[in-house]
Structure 1
Amino acid sequence: MARKAPRHAEAERNDRALLEAAKKVLAKDGAHASVAAIAARAGVGIASLYRRYRTKEELFQHLCALSLGHWIEAAERALKYDDPWEGLVHYATATIDFGGGALGPLAGTISVTDEMAEKFTRSDTLAQALVARAHEAGVLRADATVADLGLLIEQLGRSSPVEQFEDRDDRTLADEAANARSRTIAIALDGLRAGHPPLPGHAPAADLLAERWEYEPER
């Protein structure tokens, strides 16, 4: 067992690096992002990567499962907050900062594994509980739904100017962009508070986000 520990730790480090790299590469290149580009950004050898993941799809499926794990962790922590609004803000902020929705371009391009489906269901159940708790406390606008929250997180969690300045190795501008982004997130989340005028249109379908992941292999 002791001899396996270093390899396991290395695999976890590589997974974290690959997930961070995939989020950035997918934000720029979309579903056509290459494994080579992701591996290069993560500092992982392409040969060692393919020894662990047989296909590009298998790698992306694994990264999606890891990403869903972060959403679950954020929701579980948020439900421990005494204040329902603070818990909701923690959940939204944590998932946005993580890059919530950054793997969205993969929707419909890969098959959904049992692990992905199980984690998505768990994540959705927790988000439902967060929203219900905030509604019951009267702090969340009555017409805001879990789908609204998920779409907001996905939009705000995509590539931001912060990453663009970091790529240019400009720390001063990156810090300014980070400050501006935190203000934008706060403004957006404030729109979820109770007391605002009704939202336009009708509530998004509850399974809107999940429906995108329906996969039909090419024939």
Structure 2
Amino acid sequence: MGGREAEARRNDARVLAAASAVFEELGDDAPVSAIARRAGVGMGSLYRRYPTKEVLVHDVCLAALQRVADLAESALRDDDAWGALERVLRGTVESGATKLLGLRRTRTDDLRAAAERAGAALERLVERARAEGGLREGVSAGDLLHLARLVTGAEPGLRERYLALVLDGLRARLPLPGPAPEWGF
């Protein structure tokens, strides 16, 4: 790999990391100039690789989904399903992936494939944790994704506390009593 190609790869990694951080902090309305500034690259360099903000958002979301899929697939090799599930949930929260997945974006085939890969691995992990008796009945991979999103949305100083509460609530014990209350005032 030549010097320019290596530099381009480093710049790309810096841009994606910066974009993830800026989008997590500011959401969809984050200016591309803030991403370039945080990455330490010029606007020309950023636009050569990402001609539109939508392309950048797409790649950030794809990387987030791939991180969740990688975490879940790696966890499937662990003998302790509950411990593996806890590490995946913690890693997903720490990565900010679920917050990034809330960005406005066009749904593409590669995003769908990455989501299916992540979902399938998470569902297998959920089934294993339930079969081993560690996970409450009725919990799905979708529940884990939504819970991770809720915890990620909390103030940084409270995330660990809320994650501990969520993990405790996921543990298998007696079933929840009665139906859930109706929403209303």
Scaled by the length of structure 2, the TM-score of the pair is 0.85
CA distance in 2, matches of 1:198, 1:13: 50
Pairs within 5 Å for 1:101-120: 101-106=98-103, 109-120=104-115
Of 119, 123, 127, the residue aligned with 1:128 is: 123
Query: Match of 2:166, as an amino acid?
Result: A
Structure 1 residue 83, shift from structure 2 partner:
0.8
Mapped partners of 1:73, 1:186: distance in 2: 23
Query: CA 1:198/1:81 → structure 2, altered by over 3 Å: closer, same or farther?
Result: same
Is 1:153 aligned to 2:131, yes or no? no
8 Å CA contact 1:65, 1:119 repeated in 2: yes
Alpha-carbon distance in structure 2 between the residues aligned to 1:94 and 1:114: 25
Partner of 1:94 in structure 2? Answer: 91
Counterpart among 29, 41, 47 of residue 38 in structure 2: 41
SS in 2 for 1:195: coil
Cα offset, 1:10, TM superposition = 3.3
Contact 1:102–1:159 at 8 Å: present in 2 too? no
Aligned-residue offset at 1:154: 1.4
For 1:70, which of 67, 71, 76 is the aligned residue?
Answer: 67
Aligned counterparts of 1:144 and 1:10: Cα–Cα separation in 2: 45
Q: Quick one: which amino acid aligns to residue 182 of structure 1?
A: E
Runs of 4+ in structure 1 over 4 Å off? none
**Alpha-carbon contact 1:85-1:140 (below 8 Å) kept:** yes
Where in structure 2 are the equivalents of 1:1-219 lying within 5 Å?
A: 2-3=1-2, 6-106=3-103, 109-158=104-153, 160-161=155-156, 177=157, 181-198=159-176, 201=180
| Cα RMSD for the two superposed structures | 2.3
Amino acid corresponding to residue 194 of structure 1 in structure 2: A
| Higher relative contact order, structure no. (Cα contacts within 8 Å, ≥ 6 residues apart) | 1
Cα distance, 1:159 vs. partner?
6.3
CA distance in 1, matches of 2:102, 2:41: 22
Aligned amino acid, residue 16 of structure 2: L
Cα deviations by residue, 1:107-132 (Å, 9 ceiling, x for unpaired) = xx321222111111111111111111
TM-score (norm 1): 0.73
Paired AA for residue 51 in structure 1: R
1:195-218 residue CA offsets vs partner (Å, 9 max, x unmatched): 15428649xxxxxxxxxxxxxxxx
Unaligned runs of 5+ in 2: none
